[in-house]
Amino acid sequence: MTQHEVKRLFSYNEDTGLFVRKSSGKITGSLSSKGYIVVKVDGKKHYAHRLAWLYMYGYMPEYIDHRNRIRSDNALVNLRPTTILENSRNRGLNTNNKSGVTGVYSSGKKYSSSIKVNGKSIYLGVFPTFDDAVSARKHAELIYKFE
């Protein structure tokens, strides 16, 4: 798929993230089981966020991240090219997280925090209060340039 082909087949609204087929004038795309909008072209499925990037910029980066983590929101301001590492940083909380803060967990009456950098877990320490553990985690995010 090329930028020319995408522009020939569709119009794209960068504010809403919606594609309209030029042949029918109708909005196109369906929600996949993983929450992404998928558009069919000649029987082949294409992710709408990838088509949006191609439509606007003429190339497809290896990974495209949804800034707000809403996979069906393909507004251009919500999309950014990324690496797999950067994309993994934009995840929500794990389902087993009880503290409500990534990398902070209870260890008895105290709190511990850690951060994962380049696939390696870095232990930040044990702290007397939840707020101290959160502060340590936030400080580590700044040091390791997390968003």
Summarised one tens digit per residue, pLDDT across range 59-97 is 999 999 998 889 999 999 999 998 776 666 656 566 667
Tens-digit pLDDT profile for the chain (147 aa)? Answer: 999 999 999 999 999 999 999 999 999 999 999 999 999 999 999 999 999 999 999 999 999 999 888 999 999 999 999 877 666 665 656 666 777 777 888 878 899 998 888 778 899 999 999 899 999 988 988 888 754
- The distance between the two most distant Cα atoms of the chain, rounded to a whole number of Å, is 64
Query: What is the DSSP code string of 27-59?
Result: EE-EE-TTS-EEEEETTEEEEHHHHHHHHHHSS
Distances (CA, A) of 131 to 98, 111, 145: 15, 9, 21
Which residue in the block uniquely carries the two structure tokens 């966020």?
Answer: 49
3-state secondary structure of 88: helix
Q: What is the pLDDT of residue 147?
A: 44
Q: What is the pLDDT of residue 109?
A: 87
Locate 35 and state its tokens: 């929450």
- Identify the structural domains of the chain with CATH numbers, from first to last: 3-87 (3.90.75.20), 92-143 (3.30.730)
Distances (CA, A) of 91 to 33, 42, 74, 82, 102: 18, 33, 17, 13, 10
